[in-house]
Amino acid sequence: MAIKSGKNALFTEINITPLTDIFLVLLIIMMVVAPTFQSMNNNVTIPEINNGTSVEEHNAIVSVTKDGRIFLNETYVTADNLAQELEKIKPNVQKLEVVVRADEKAKSSVIMDIMNAAQEAQYKKLVVAGEPLTKKAQKALEAENEELIREQESLQN
């Protein structure tokens, strides 16, 4: 930090004031321009999440196991006759909505079949339960309907 005085004086310190000014200007420009980089589609309305909403017992509850077996209100059904079964229970449900509980390893094609069956049976809403089907619930469903499952699988084969 030696500064010589006189005509041939050397100035050996870096002046950071212009550098700081440049960085502050760049920061302000980026803060103004950055929101325009976000692509927002205002035509899409994102649904709200209801935390803690319980599944009503008087709805059509469709459970899917990891191997693709479908249960309607704890009764085994096939994907082919799900729409007819949904039609049958229509008078007993409070709301025309189908609640889907699926194992995390269930294929999405099975969920699409459920959606199509609900649409065919003219249900108004499809709700995907936040909690997937537990292994304990899966085993209970299969054990409860084991004989019916075997009969329908033998008819399919």
Region 17-38: mean pLDDT is 88
* pLDDT (0 to 100) of residue 23: 94
Stronger pLDDT, 64 or 48, i.e. the higher one: 64
| Domain 60-156, architecture per CATH | 2-Layer Sandwich (3.30)
The per-residue pLDDT of the chain, averaged, comes to: 76
Tell me: the pLDDT tens digits for 119-143? 888 888 888 776 656 677 777 777 7
Stronger pLDDT, 152 or 85, i.e. the higher one: 85
Decide: pTM greater than 0.95: no
Confidence of residue 6 (pLDDT cuts 50, 70, 90): low
Region 68-79: mean pLDDT is 82
Instruction: Map out the domains of the chain as residue ranges.
Output: 60-156
The three-state DSSP-derived secondary structure of the chain is CCCCCCCCCCCCCCCCHHHHHHHHHHHHHHHHHHHHHCCCCCCCCCCCCCCCCCCCCCCEEEEECCCCCEEECCEEECCCCHHHHHHHHHHHCCCCEEEEEECCCCCHHHHHHHHHHHHHCCCCEEEECCCCCCHHHHHHHHHHCHHHHHHHHHHHC
Residue 46 has pLDDT above 60, yes or no: no
Confidence of residue 26 (pLDDT cuts 50, 70, 90): very high
Residue 3 has pLDDT above 90, yes or no: no
User: Position of tokens 């499952």?
Assistant: 149
